[in-house]
Amino acid sequence: MPAPVLIVSGCSAVGKSTVSRLLAGAVTPSVHLPIDHFLRFFDDPFPDPGSREGARRYEIVGAAAAAAAAQFALGGYAVILDSPMFPEGADGVALICGRRDVRVHYAVLRASLDTCLERSRRRDTDGPPDLREFRSLHAKFVDLGHREAHAIDASGPARQVADAVLSAFREGRLAFGQKTSNQ
């Protein structure tokens, strides 16, 4: 039986990478797969997702990351896929992984806009983020609709957030294809 894939998503500076590293250390054997590594293969790694090329690239990179995640999972490694992935992107990962009988789980880390901005300022020493773009990305994770049960409060310390994700993951509350009280 393949190992699972856990997508850890959310806005910039919410703590995805830190929490993902902690999760990878708590689940063995596992691999931490940051989607940013796939994007850095391109000359312009972070194109505007609203542009035609940006949308195309993010779709292709998502599919490539899903295929890699499925292969690791088939090899017995739980995959922590670290990505600012929206629910429709997670649906695509679940479709690709599902073809190989790999179960996908989806966690959306959420903290207030002010918390994420403060974390971004501490982390990104080369200057503040573009506030308009940052707010826009943050807003896309505020209302998850029928995926609301996948939201995890990320306002606390990273270890606390990782423990909350791990608990929800182990209880099956983050699994795709499983009915929750909000679906």
Tens-level pLDDT at each residue, the chain (183 residues): 899 999 999 999 999 999 999 999 999 999 999 999 999 999 988 888 778 998 899 999 999 999 999 999 999 999 999 999 999 999 999 999 999 999 999 999 999 999 999 999 898 877 767 899 899 999 999 999 999 999 999 999 999 999 999 999 999 999 986 433 333
Segment holding 29, helix H or strand E: none
Q: Which amino acid is at 121?
A: R
In the chain, how long is the greatest CA-to-CA distance?
A: 46
What residue ranges define each of the domains in the chain, with the CATH number in brackets?
A: 5-170 (3.40.50.300)
CB 18 within 8 A of CB 119: no
Q: What token pair was written down for 119? A: 């974390």
Q: How far apart are CA 22 and CA 63, in angstroms?
A: 25
pTM of the model: 0.93
Using alpha carbons, select from 88, 94, 89 the residue that is nearest to residue 6. 94
Say which residue the tokens 């295929």 belong to. Answer: 67
